């Protein structure tokens, strides 16, 4: 029984090591050094720190890499993590539908065993225990002292009139990670942190692009995005609408975006060429949808007199 238990424990430990190591190898094969990510992505404009436990103590070792990588990939602003039970003990609750991150705890235990000759010996048996942690961005109801994002300056205050325009839309805009996208299922916009952009104009241009996607929701303009992930033509069409919408809105806001090409632009351009080659009306339709989207965003702005009074 003892040997079976030891074998099972060894297998579990090996699986955990393999899973984590394979993830890091995969990033390295893409030319990404996961331990340098926080410095290269700027995901914490308030300063890079090690991930912190619920009590403010920093994580160490492999857990630092796991939680840094997860925070960047999922756009978490906070550096603090805790278990489901700890969140409850601190007066909060993990939001429904949130998934946790597996972290590991390495330790050992002493076990007394009897040899074939009857001699008792103590064995130091290492073990690796996995448990699930949640970022405080995933937890509602926590005291403000556990909210690390409170000290981070609101990017909207840094871009003046354009910032007020985006704030007035009421869109949920999150910052962190390396990707810009609109998450239709959860209805929020994700952007890299403000300081990761080359300048204010680049930030506004990318946000305008994602805001155009945001208008597609059923409760807004109801543009069908159901086949976006599955159909290249539908994806090319929606991306063309967003590209045009960004240009229209930047012009309205007095922004001249000189964007560096995004990594996905090469594939978008190929898709647009096919789309326009097969449908000569596609550019007209896309422009009409883009204008409708920008008109909708303007419609969300308060009358000039009310805004000045506020």
Check whether residue 126 and residue 160 sit in a common domain.
no
User: Total structural domains in the chain?
Assistant: 2
Q: Between these two residues, 41 and 255, which has the higher pLDDT value? A: 255
Choosing from 130, 148, 166, the residue where a domain stops is: 148
172 with 87, same domain: the answer is: no
Indicate if the pLDDT at residue 5 is higher than 70: no
Closest CA to 291 of 255, 264, 252: 252
Confidence at residue 82, expressed as pLDDT on a 0 to 100 scale: 94
pLDDT digit string, tens, across residues 183-215: 999 999 999 988 888 888 889 989 999 999 999
Instruction: Say whether both 206 and 232 belong to one domain.
Output: yes
The answer to whether residues 169 and 301 belong to one domain is yes
The answer on 41 and 8 residing in a single domain is: yes
Residues 144, 162 within the same domain: no
Quick check: helix, strand or coil at residue 203?
Answer: helix
The pTM for the full model equals 0.58
Tokens of 153: 């300056």
Residue 31 three-state SS: coil
- Which of 83, 114, 148 terminates a domain? The answer is 148
Which pLDDT belongs to residue 39? 42
254 and 137 in one domain? no
Judge if 126 and 228 occupy the same domain: no
Mean pLDDT on 143-165 = 71
- What dihedral do alpha carbons 200, 262, 232, 221 form, nearest 10°? 0
CA angle 245, 216, 266 (to 5 degrees): 50
Query: What's the pLDDT score for residue 81?
Result: 94
Show the domain range for 190.
153-309
84 and 228 belong to one structural domain:
no
112 lies in the same domain as 170: no
Residue 212 near residue 205, CB atoms below 8 Å? no
The answer to which of 34-38, 43-47, 121-125 has the lowest mean pLDDT is 43-47
Distance of CA 107 to the CA centre of its chain: 32
Q: Does residue 289 sit in the same domain as residue 196? A: yes
Joined tokens for residue 145: 């002292």
Q: Does residue 116 sit in the same domain as residue 185?
A: no
pLDDT of residue 3: 53
User: How confident is the model over 21-46, as a mean pLDDT?
Assistant: 57
Choose between 34 and 73: higher pLDDT: 73
Identify the domain boundary among 125, 148, 171: 148
Of the pLDDT bands very low, low, confident and very high (cuts 50, 70, 90), residue 177 is confident
pLDDT at residue 25 in the model: 67
Residue 227 tokens, joined: 């086949």
70-111 tens-digit pLDDT: 887 887 878 899 999 999 999 999 999 999 999 888 777 777
């Amino acid at each position: 029984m003892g040997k079976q238990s030891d074998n099972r424990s060894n297998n579990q430990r090996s699986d955990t090591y393999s899973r984590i190591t394979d993830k890091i190898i995969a990033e390295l094969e893409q030319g990404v050094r996961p331990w340098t990510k926080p410095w290269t992505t700027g995901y914490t404009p308030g300063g890079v720190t090690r991930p912190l436990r619920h009590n403010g103590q920093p994580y160490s070792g492999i857990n630092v890499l796991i939680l840094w990588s997860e925070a960047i990939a999922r756009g978490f602003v906070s550096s603090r993590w805790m278990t489901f039970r700890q969140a409850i003990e601190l007066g909060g609750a993990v939001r429904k539908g949130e998934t946790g991150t597996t972290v590991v705890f390495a330790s050992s235990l002493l076990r007394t065993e009897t040899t074939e000759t009857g001699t008792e010996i103590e064995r130091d048996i290492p073990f690796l225990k996995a448990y699930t942690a949640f970022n405080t961005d995933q937890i509602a109801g926590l005291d403000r002292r556990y909210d690390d994002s409170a000290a981070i300056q609101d990017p909207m205050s840094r871009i003046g009139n354009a910032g007020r325009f985006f704030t007035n839309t009421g869109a949920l805009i999150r910052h962190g990670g390396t990707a810009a996208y609109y998450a239709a299922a959860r209805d929020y916009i994700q952007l890299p942190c403000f300081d990761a952009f080359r300048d204010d104009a680049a930030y506004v241009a990318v946000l305008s692009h994602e805001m155009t996607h945001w208008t597609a929701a059923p409760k807004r303009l109801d543009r069908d995005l159901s086949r976006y992930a599955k159909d290249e033509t539908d994806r090319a069409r929606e991306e063309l609408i967003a590209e045009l919408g960004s240009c229209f809105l930047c012009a309205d806001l007095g922004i001249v975006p000189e964007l560096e090409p995004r990594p996905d632009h090469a594939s978008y351009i190929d898709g647009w060429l096919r789309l326009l080659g097969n449908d000569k009306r596609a550019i007209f339709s896309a422009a009409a949808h883009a204008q409708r989207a920008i008109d909708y965003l303007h419609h969300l702005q308060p009358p000039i007199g009310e805004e000045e009074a506020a």
